[in-house]
Amino acid sequence: EAQVTQNPRYLITVTGKKLTVTCSQNMNHEYMSWYRQDPGLGLRQIYYSMNVEVTDKGDVPEGYKVSRKEKRNFPLILESPSPNQTSLYFCASSFRRADGYTFGSGTRLTVV
């Protein structure tokens, strides 16, 4: 089944403890992105990648890192999480711009 898989679905962590949210797609898509969703703010792009080893900042990149060493994987790294990073995170992939994104199921992160 064609899909974007992100893990974990739910995560509660403490301020400052490094964490990684994994994302993998099995559709051979070139484009991948991370979004965060917050009440009243909608969905905002954190980082994106146009291909292996090509990544760039989106609208809200502060406090996040990504890497794209393989086409299928695009992990999101929070080196030192803070409470303002409590949010619902979505990974997404796309073959081309006209297709729009296929989204993962989301990761609900709480930083206390």
Q: Which residue ranges make up the site for another protein (CB under 8 A)?
A: 31, 33, 35, 40-45, 48, 50, 56, 58-59, 88, 90, 92, 94, 97-103, 105-106, 108
Q: List strand residue ranges (DSSP E) for the chain, in order.
A: 4-7, 10-13, 19-25, 31-38, 42-51, 54-57, 65-66, 76-78, 87-94, 102-103, 107-111
Q: Which is nearer to another protein, 74 or 101 (CB)?
A: 101
| Burial degree of 72 (CB within 10 A; 0-12, 13-18, 19+) | middle
Minimal distance, residue 94 CB to another protein, in Å: 6
User: Minimum distance from CB of 45 to another protein (Å)?
Assistant: 5
Minimum gap (Å) between residue 92 Cβ and another protein: 8
Distance CA 57, CA 75 (A): 14
Q: Which is nearer to another protein, 13 or 37 (CB)?
A: 37
Nearest CB to another protein, comparing residues 64 and 90: 90
